């Protein structure tokens, strides 16, 4: 696993290893104000490591941007102390922490948007869902954004980036993946506009540029990353030629000199595991168009993570599921130690159980030794 543990520089920062905590929506904020909870600070603090990078779960930039009850948000002052507790917990262990920023677009419900219809580039029917107090329900009918409304959404991203800076984050990541609003603008299956934000690629990428430039205005390009999902279908997105589209996106992002490009490798509707013998399709062709560090994500295990870094298709690997149940995942990977199985039932919402109560390998071995001693002395 040596390749995963070579130092690397991303933007303004030097990392001691290449095992990244992927952003995972865990739905554990304090309601009704989406305040980051103490158990979230525990979760991220536990998974921090000296010179390691964590990307904190997607935070909505406004009320209109919200999609899931219990998901993170960063749009009012009452949330700031909760965010500071998370950055302080990560920094206490020598880690770096970025916050992912999101607008859910049409993947929402009127209960989550404050009563207004969810918004999108265009009205294109789809079978999406949102999470409300009644559980997962069909998304509300959406409407197309007026061109005059777009600057206000860009400003929401800028304001959220400033709040993240004030809360002590080391940078931000723009969520331009998984069928949320930025991705909806990029892909021609969801963007059927005929104005300056639709049609040719340069128009469909305009909203991406504007939101990215808003984040850069706060942070500088070397402290901003972008996540994309070139082959993703989540949220009903599609594109007539994804390789051409996302090669162009990669070139655009490269021109800004951002800290990294975060790529979700091909999966069916975002659910299937990428096995170690699965080809790294997206990063392979994107590498030709993006000269900076690339983070690969998408169901990686120990072997596939090592292989993609060794191949040069990616420079770092983001882990979600395995990191959820192994707070010391970099240590376990480095020393080839067994991994604790993740608990899918606890992924979306719940308590500390199967969330922030997983033990490190050393702690679990100590507990096992205690139990063995108790058994022998019984």
Query: Mind listing the domains of the chain with CATH numbers?
Result: 2-377 (3.20.20.70)
Tokens of 92: 């206490």
* Predicted local confidence at residue 364, as pLDDT: 84
Helix ranges (H only) for 167-199 are: 181-186
**Cβ atoms 105, 181 nearer than 8 A:** yes
Helix (H, G, I), strand (E, B) or coil at 97: strand
* Predicted local confidence at residue 338, as pLDDT: 94
Q: Which of 75, 180, 197, 260 is catalytic?
A: 180
* Predicted local confidence at residue 370, as pLDDT: 42
Question: Between these two residues, 283 and 175, which has the higher pLDDT value?
Answer: 175
Question: Between these two residues, 280 and 186, which has the higher pLDDT value?
Answer: 186
**Cβ atoms 60, 164 nearer than 8 A:** no
Helix (H, G, I), strand (E, B) or coil at 30: strand
Q: Is the pLDDT of residue 294 over 60?
A: yes
Average pLDDT for 168-172:
98
Average pLDDT for 6-25:
97
Average pLDDT for 334-354:
95
Average pLDDT for 18-23:
98
Q: Is the pLDDT of residue 278 over 60?
A: no
Number of residues that this document lists for the chain: 378
With 0-12 CB in 10 A as exposed, 13-18 as middle and 19+ as buried, what is 187? buried
* Predicted local confidence at residue 117, as pLDDT: 97
Average pLDDT for 57-80:
97
Average pLDDT for 176-190:
97
* Predicted local confidence at residue 232, as pLDDT: 83
ω into 32 cis (within 30 of 0): yes
Q: At what angle do helices 206-219 and 150-166 cross, to 10 degrees?
A: 30
* Predicted local confidence at residue 369, as pLDDT: 58
Average pLDDT for 167-181:
97
122-147 pLDDT tens trace: 999 998 889 999 999 999 999 999 99
Q: Output helix, strand, coil percentages for the chain, rounded to the nearest 5.
A: 35, 15, 45
Question: Between these two residues, 267 and 308, which has the higher pLDDT value?
Answer: 308
Question: Between these two residues, 278 and 44, which has the higher pLDDT value?
Answer: 44
Average pLDDT for 4-15:
97
* Predicted local confidence at residue 375, as pLDDT: 57
Q: Is the pLDDT of residue 56 over 50?
A: yes
**Cβ atoms 97, 44 nearer than 8 A:** yes
Q: Is the pLDDT of residue 268 over 70?
A: no
* Predicted local confidence at residue 282, as pLDDT: 87
| β strands within the chain, DSSP E | 8-10, 13-15, 19-21, 53-60, 72-73, 96-102, 119-120, 129-132, 135-138, 143-144, 171-175, 224-228, 260-264, 294-297, 316-319
* Predicted local confidence at residue 146, as pLDDT: 98
In the numeric block, the tokens 């777009």 are attached to 150
| Rounded Cα gap, residues 365 and 301, in angstroms | 22
**Confidence bin at 376 (pLDDT 50/70/90):** low
* Predicted local confidence at residue 208, as pLDDT: 98
* Predicted local confidence at residue 368, as pLDDT: 58
Average pLDDT across the chain, whole number? 92
Average pLDDT for 203-210:
98
Helix (H, G, I), strand (E, B) or coil at 207: helix
**Cβ atoms 119, 130 nearer than 8 A:** no
103-115 pLDDT tens trace: 999 999 999 999 9
Distances in Å between the Cα of 199 and the Cα atoms of 30, 124, 125, 240, 346 are 41, 15, 19, 12, 41
**Confidence bin at 373 (pLDDT 50/70/90):** low
* Predicted local confidence at residue 231, as pLDDT: 84
| Rounded Cα gap, residues 175 and 245, in angstroms | 17
Q: Determine whether 75 is an active site residue.
A: no
In the numeric block, the tokens 């990191």 are attached to 323
221-234 pLDDT tens trace: 999 999 999 988 88
**Confidence bin at 365 (pLDDT 50/70/90):** confident
**Confidence bin at 272 (pLDDT 50/70/90):** very low
């Amino acid at each position: 696993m040596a390749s995963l543990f070579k130092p690397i520089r991303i933007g303004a920062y030097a990392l001691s290893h290449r095992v990244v905590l992927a952003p995972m929506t865990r739905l554990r904020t304090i309601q009704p104000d989406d305040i980051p909870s103490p158990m979230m600070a525990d979760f991220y603090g536990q998974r921090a490591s000296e010179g390691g990078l964590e990307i904190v779960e997607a935070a909505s930039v406004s009320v209109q941007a919200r999609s899931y009850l219990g998901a993170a948000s960063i749009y009012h002052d009452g949330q700031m102390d909760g965010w500071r507790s998370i950055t302080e917990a990560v920094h206490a262990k020598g880690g770096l922490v970025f916050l992912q920023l999101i607008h859910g677009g049409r993947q929402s419900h009127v209960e989550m948007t404050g009563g207004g219809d969810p918004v999108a580039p265009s009205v294109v029917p789809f079978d999406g869902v949102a999470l409300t107090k009644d559980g997962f329900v069909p998304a509300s009918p959406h409407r197309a954004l007026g061109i005059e409304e777009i600057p206000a959404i860009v400003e929401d991203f800028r304001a959220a980036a400033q709040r993240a800076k004030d809360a002590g984050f080391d940078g931000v990541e723009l969520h331009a993946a998984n069928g949320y609003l930025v991705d909806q603008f990029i892909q021609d299956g969801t963007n059927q506009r005929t104005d300056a934000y639709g049609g040719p690629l340069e128009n469909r990428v305009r909203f991406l540029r504007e939101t990215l430039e808003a984040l850069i205005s706060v942070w500088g390009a070397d402290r901003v990353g972008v996540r994309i999902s070139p082959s993703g279908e989540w949220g009903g997105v599609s594109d007539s030629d994804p390789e051409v589209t996302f090669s162009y996106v990669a070139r655009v992002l490269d021109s800004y000199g951002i800290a990294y490009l975060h790529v979700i490798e091909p999966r069916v509707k975002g659910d299937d595991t990428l096995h170690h013998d699965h080809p790294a399709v997206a990063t392979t062709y994107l590498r030709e168009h993006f000269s900076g560090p690339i983070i690969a994500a998408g169901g990686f295990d120990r072997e596939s993570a090592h292989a993609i870094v060794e191949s040069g298709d990616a420079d770092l690997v983001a882990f979600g599921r395995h990191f959820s149940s192994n707070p010391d995942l970099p240590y376990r990977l480095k020393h080839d130690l067994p991994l604790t199985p993740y608990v899918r039932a606890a992924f979306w919402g719940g308590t500390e159980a199967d969330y922030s109560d997983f033990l490190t390998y050393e702690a679990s071995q100590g507990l096992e030794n205690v139990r063995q001693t108790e058994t022998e002395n019984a």
